[in-house]
Amino acid sequence: SVVHETKWMTPVPAAARQSRPTRSNRLGQQDIFRRVGGPRGCRNWPLIPAVYANRGVASLPRHPVVLWSDSASHMAASPITPIDSCAYRPVLAAFARALRRETHVMSRSPNLLWQQLYNRLQWEEEPVAYSLAPEFARRNAPGARPWMQMRTRHHESSALRQTLEGHTGAVKGCAISPDGSLVASASQDGTLRLWDVVGGQARVTVVGSQWGVSGCAFTPDGSCVVAGCADGRVRVWEAASGTLRATFEGRGGSVDGCAISPDGSLVAAASSDCRVTVWDAATGEERSTLRGHTNTVTSCAISPDGSFIVSASTDGTLKIWDVVSGTERRTLTGHARMVLACAISPDGARIVSGGGDEGTLRVWDVASGEIRAALEGDANSVYGCAFSPDGGLIVSAGTDGSLKIWDAVSLRKRAILQGHGGRVYTCAFSPDASFIVSGGLDRTVKIWDVPAALGGAAAGGHTRPTTACAFSPDGSIFASASRDQTLIIWDASSGAARATLAGHTDAAWKCAISPDASFVVSASVDTTLKIWDAATGAERTTLRGHTKPVVACAISPDGSYVVSGSSDKTLRIWDAVTGAPRAILAGHTGEIQVCAIAPDGSFIVSGSADDTLRIWDAASGTPRGVLSGHSMFVNGCAIGPDGSFIVSAGADNTLRIWDKASLAARAVLGGASPFALSPDGSFIVSAGGYGTFAIWDTATGALRRVLKGHAGWVSACAVGPDGSFVVSAALDGTLKVWDVASGTELCTLFLPAVAASVATHPFRPQAICADHSGGVYLIDLHGIECGSTAVTPATARRPTAAPDADAAEERHLEAGRSAAPTPARRSLDRFRALAWLPVLAAPVLAWRWSASYGVTLFVLFHALAFASFADRVWSKPQRLEKLLWLLLHPALGTGVLYIVYREWRVMWLAVAIGFLGGLLLQFLLVPLLLPRATALLLDNARKR
């Protein structure tokens, strides 16, 4: 094996090595060779990453012995003295593991080689850690480029071999070739990709359907791949060349899963039209159509002997069908809700099924139809499942972003594989059971080592997505809250977990730490708050009183009281020592979204789904004022450091700065949540357009600059303790640090998953980041000094134009500066919003009748709703917004109709008729009916 893999590994001539720094300069990758891999770098380790970064990460060998052999051949011809092979075998093995896991990052940003490798290798034992020390010292010398060091481990299982990245949509299906050399992945981006298991590169990429590819399977000889597409067709491609061999026509519904018989003679497809269709693989003729399910068929599998087919459906049942006769043998009932996945054991005697009813996994006896084993209450829907080749293990994929390996007989949990950044849709065992392949919402394919998974420990930390994180005011600790119903208290110096706080019966939604770091408060969906001792992790008291989920909480500056906001439309003030309620703040007519306490603790501000903010007296709980102006619910608020102004963010994509004394809006800014207020209150950072965010001056409301660099929407942001830098996270999975004064990007870190929240240390260049996979990371910002370029009201640069923003971006951000809508306008907006309800309700109500009624109602309501919104469309001054409004309504209606009927042809016909009808009604409904309705609303507004 080693000899075969090293045939192409030839030593590089000295002349070529000497020319690499120059060539890397031309490629913009000089950081790899001059600073990491060059002869002037650390002599102990840099040759290994330099060699492979220069060659290209796609060609990395997958075995430490092969890596050593290849590195040794390069070092033999190197001017640097070769290192001892026996002593450095652990170093090479560690580099091999780290490089495999960072392949997807290196392919996009090779200049981050040192940072990404160090963040993995720093946890290794000697001599790996020793080999990193000299380069670490050089990287942290004065004047060195900024970079980010993770002080907590990656939230992923040690069994993760590699991440394959390239899809631009969720990965819905995967399969492994019979010889285990190729992995096929089907994605919602409409493509099917074939990956090399050893090298990790995509060998073949084919376009299946513009609507998405949802399932795939290899033929028994591995020469072809079968894939089910959302356009209702099943396509067959050659695995070697990607040539389309055959297309099997469906009957209209999208194909959600497919399977091929062990002898390769039959192809079966599970369809959204409640049927399973079976074709002859050689001729493409339809053998049979299996009818019996009453809702979408989500998955199907063919038995090892090819005698029967199993199908799973959202009607909550599984069915066993006879392949020869096409008749139903048996119906398996037991799932409380939809069944999303199924698989047959290698001996054909058992079936495993996964459901959407709180994570049920069931093993059935094929002969009797009885349940052999059942797992209840795992709290996660199961989207995929598979048997190991020997039938002894089962792997399942769920909504919590993890895979679980179970004993196939007892359903005892054997291992948890964590590493995906979102729900996992598909999984498969390799033919020799040495690895597992999975794909998910994070658009990646991951390869897991099974022996390492069974023998290793699961990733520490949270087991479900995190919802919040916060530093203590003194900077000694930080806390994180998660959907796994727990909180964790971490040491801010070492990054070690101090205590896990368990006690909530539902997701922990928010958390806050007292000023002296003596206690932590958590707010939960279980309608309670809890006060925890920060030193011991013990529960001090439980605050009960809210009748719906508690979604916001804050602690007073002196630590004497706690404020909570709930979906029950009330806020409550609690005594932090005794837990007794002090006051109930009622007045909002919508669910509470956010709350904040003034720096001096004298008043409280709350934001609600009723589009308003309210100011409350903290001592008495009496209302002080109402801030009205947002046209949609308020999802963020902050109070200036001197308490003189309030900043709010609304779902209407505006930021508003309010004067606390007069309750008037000082400025209306373009932007959206998330946003962050600088510690000195001089500027605001807010999310802008795609991949951008803006910096606004709080005194004048002027736009200082627009920062661009992310390849996705900004999901979280925070300002450094002195206002000199900003930390932002985006949906592209990156964390970036920006200089506020110049607007330049200082450094970038690739995260294992998308960040849900970000916070900065109160006085150090340090940040914490909590992501959607359950990971919590303490990050040191090397090369960034607090106080060096702090932005203050006196020294802030206030350009008249945003130098980094083009005219289009400027107009987009300035669009939110319009005056606040009047009550009449807001009432009219609500009236128009009701037009969407029939569009959503018609297909659902018609579900119980027939498709003809549903389509008829949909066309009618679609036309009415479009006509009512057309008036708003034509009145918009921006052309882009006109186009978006025109497309948004048909897109939503199309999606709803597709979910209900899964018939593309009928759906598009209904949308087209509704669209044209709406244009006609526009000239009747708007001129005749809307003026009367508007007059009535204006009169009602005057009375109010």
Summarize pLDDT for 352-408 with one digit per residue, the tens. 999 876 668 899 999 999 999 887 656 578 999 999 999 999 999 988 888 999 999
Residue 127 counted as domain residue? yes
How high is the pLDDT of residue 871? 42
pLDDT(791) > 50: no
Interval 458-501: pLDDT, tens = 667 888 889 999 999 999 999 999 999 999 999 999 999 999 99
Distance CA(303)–CA(351), nearest Å, equals 10
Q: Residue 849 phi/psi, 5° resolution?
A: -105, -90
Residues 767 and 843 in one domain: no
- Report whether 596 contacts 638 (CB < 8 A): yes
Q: Is residue 794 one of the residues assigned to a domain?
A: yes
**902 in the same domain as 814:** no
pLDDT tens digits, residue range 618-656?
Answer: 999 999 999 999 988 999 999 999 999 999 999 888 999
* pLDDT over 90, % of the chain: 52
Report residue 158 as tokens.
């040690």
Structure tokens at 711: 């390849």
What is the Rg, in whole angstroms, of the alpha carbon atoms belonging to the chain? 30
Q: What's the rounded mean pLDDT across residues 200-205?
A: 90
pLDDT-derived band at 311, boundaries 50, 70, 90: very high
Cα 344 to Cα 25: distance, rounded to the nearest angstrom: 55
**Is the pLDDT at 5 greater than 70, yes or no?**
no
Domain identity same for 420 and 445: yes
Taking a C-beta distance cutoff of 8 angstroms, is the pair 189, 195 a contact?
A: no
SS3 content of the chain, % helix, strand, coil (to 5): 25, 35, 40
Phi, psi values for residue 821, rounded to 5°: -65, 150
Structure tokens at 485: 């119903």
Q: Is residue 362 part of a domain?
A: yes
Span 689-731, pLDDT tens digits: 778 889 999 999 999 999 898 988 899 999 999 999 999 999 8
**Quick one: 762 and 842 in the same domain?**
no
Sequence length of the chain is 944
Evaluate whether residue 849 is within a structural domain: yes
Q: Pick from 868, 857, 865, 867: which is nearest to 901 by CA?
A: 857
Q: What pLDDT score does 136 carry? A: 87
* The domain boundary residue, chosen from 455, 478, 509: 455
Which of 839, 831, 853 is closest to 889 using CA atoms?
Answer: 839
With 60 as the cut, is the pLDDT of residue 928 above it? no
pLDDT at 279 over 90: yes
Confidence band (pLDDT; 50, 70, 90) for 83? very low
pLDDT over threshold 90, residue 60:
no
pLDDT score of 844 more than 60: no
| 46 has pLDDT over 90 | no
Same domain, 91 and 32: yes
Which among 803, 820, 837 is the end of a domain? 820
Complete edge-to-edge strand list for the sheet that includes strand 382-387:
382-387, 393-398, 402-407, 413-418
Look at the chain and report how many structural domains it folds into.
4
Mean pLDDT of all residues in 547-575: 96
Given a cut of 60, whether residue 515 has pLDDT beyond it is yes
Single-letter amino acid code for the residue at 196: D
What pLDDT is stored for residue 211 in this prediction? 84
Confidence of residue 135 (pLDDT cuts 50, 70, 90): confident
Give me the chain's average pLDDT, please.
79
Residue 237 has pLDDT above 70, yes or no: yes
Q: What pLDDT sits at residue 128? A: 77
Same domain? For 744 and 849 the reply is no
- Indicate whether 658 belongs to any domain: no
Shared domain for 811 and 883, answered yes or no, is no
Residue 511 counted as domain residue:
no
Region of poorest pLDDT, from 145-159, 626-640, 842-856, 874-888: 874-888
- Check if the beta carbon of residue 567 is closer than 8 Å to that of residue 593: no
Q: What residue numbers bound the domain in which 740 lies? A: 699-820
Q: How confident is the model at residue 95 (pLDDT cuts 50, 70, 90)?
A: confident
At residue 336, the pLDDT reads: 84
Residues 814 and 927 both lie in one domain: no
**Listed ranges 54-58, 59-63, 214-218, 886-890; the one with the highest mean pLDDT:** 214-218
Q: Which residue has the higher pLDDT, 904 or 236?
A: 236
Task: Give the CA distances from residue 547 to residues 524, 529, 555, 790, 916, in Å, rounded to whole numbers and listed in that order.
Answer: 12, 12, 21, 45, 47
Asked whether residue 858 falls in the same domain as residue 803, the answer is no
**What CA–CA distance (Å, rounded) separates 781 from 719?**
13
Considering the domain boundaries, does residue 621 fall inside one? Answer: no
Q: What is the pLDDT of residue 620?
A: 92
CATH number, residue 342? 2.130.10.10
- Give residue 330's pLDDT: 94
The whole-model pTM stands at: 0.71
Q: Which stretch, 71-85, 357-371, 908-922, has highest mean pLDDT?
A: 357-371
Does 608 map to a domain?
A: no
- Same domain flag for 783 and 899: no
**What would the mean pLDDT of 433-452 be, rounded to a whole number?**
93
Q: Which runs of E-coded beta strand occur in 356-496? A: 361-365, 371-375, 382-387, 393-398, 402-407, 413-418, 424-429, 435-440, 444-449, 466-471, 477-482, 486-491
In the predicted model, is pLDDT for residue 795 greater than 50? no
Residue 127: is the preceding peptide bond cis (ω within 30°)?
Answer: yes
Pair (142, 30) in one structural domain: yes
* Integer Cα distance of 670 and 903 in angstroms: 40
